[in-house]
Amino acid sequence: MKVTIKYFASIREAIGQGSEVRDTTATTLAALRDELLAATPAHAASLARGRSVRMALNQVMSDEVALLSDGCEVAFFPPVTGG
């Protein structure tokens, strides 16, 4: 299936792109994240399991068990703080 992936803030800077369309066999956000961890060293560093990364599926905050569907939009971003 095809998914649109958007990267924000420091994740976008580390990966070097704001978005991509990717063919995937992943069925959950967790599986997609694992797939991306293996994609490039930049993906591995910015999406590493030890890092705090927020995720949204079709513009709704989601956890890693959320199910993907063909044509969905996934967003990865670091936690946001205010001050």
- Topology adopted by domain 2-77: Ubiquitin-like (UB roll) (3.10.20)
β strands within 1-83, DSSP E: 2-7, 19-23, 54-57, 60-61, 73-77
pLDDT exceeds 90 at position 3: yes
Residues 77/53, Cβ–Cβ less than 8 Å: yes
Indicate yes or no: pTM above 0.85: yes
DSSP 8-state secondary structure symbol assigned to residue 66: P
For the stretch 51-78, pLDDT in tens is 889 999 999 999 999 999 999 999 999 9
How far is the C-alpha of 83 from the C-alpha of 20, rounded, in Å? 31
